């Protein structure tokens, strides 16, 4: 919605206003403004459009998620590094349904930029392993699947890993 620098400026202005309210003995207003400062600081680290795209993907609504991601103009400057990683991760997830070559590029860029959660990193690498298998690059797929096993500490991707291994045996 707002550029990342505008969010920081808004947070600084809210803090300054809360300090002014404290000096004017309006303690309640000052506390409220400090609490209100949490919103732009949170949105600095978590882009609202990316959050909405994640919610749409949870509902398996790829068109809705794509609509939210398309609202981000020029993600290299509008997003911080981790947000760029998640932007590419989401693009890769959506493109993996139709265009594997483009999806591979987005997943590689997402891994390069970094993802906060190990499970997201594991899913990205698992999708890359699937692309490698479809292109008959068995060694690369094996290495990626081994990395996925290390990242999947809760065992949420065991079934997908097993399916990938079964497909590797067929090649």
pLDDT in tens, 153-165: 888 888 888 888 8
List, as one string, the DSSP characters of 47-78. -HHHHHHHHHHHTT-HHHHHHHHHT---HHHH
Q: Please report, for the chain, the start and end positions of each structural domain, with discontinuous segments joined by +.
A: 1-45, 47-170
Given a contact cutoff of 8 angstroms between Cβ atoms, the answer to whether 152 and 119 are in contact is yes
For 47-170, the fitting CATH number among 1.10.150.120, 2.40.10.480, 2.40.128.20, 1.25.40.10 is 1.25.40.10
Per-residue pLDDT of the chain (171 residues; tens, 9 = 90+): 567 788 899 999 999 999 999 999 999 999 999 999 999 888 877 888 898 998 998 898 989 999 999 998 888 887 888 899 999 999 999 888 888 889 999 999 999 998 888 888 999 999 999 888 888 888 888 899 899 888 888 888 888 888 888 888 877
* pLDDT at residue number 38: 93
CB count in 10 Å sphere of residue 65: 24
pTM (predicted TM-score): 0.78
At 1 the pLDDT is: 56
Contact 122, 158 (CB under 8 A): no
């Amino acid at each position: 919605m707002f550029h990342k620098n505008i969010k920081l400026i808004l947070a600084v202005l809210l803090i300054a206003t809360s300090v002014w309210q404290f000096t004017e003995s309006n303690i309640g207003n000052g506390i409220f403004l400090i609490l209100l400062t949490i919103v732009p600081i949170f949105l600095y680290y978590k882009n609202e459009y990316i959050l909405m795209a994640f919610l749409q993907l949870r509902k398996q609504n790829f068109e809705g998620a794509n609509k939210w991601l398309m609202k981000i103009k020029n993600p290299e400057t509008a997003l911080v590094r981790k947000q760029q990683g998640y932007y590419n991760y989401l693009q890769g997830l959506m493109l993996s349904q139709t265009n594997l070559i483009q999806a591979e590029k987005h997943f590689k860029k997402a891994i390069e930029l970094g993802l906060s959660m190990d499970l997201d990193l594991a899913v990205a690498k698992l999708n890359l392993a699937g692309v490698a298998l479809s292109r008959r690059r068995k060694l690369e797929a094996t290495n990626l699947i081994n990395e996925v096993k290390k990242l999947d500490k809760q065992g949420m991707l065991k079934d997908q890993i097993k399916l990938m291994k079964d497909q590797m045996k067929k090649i």
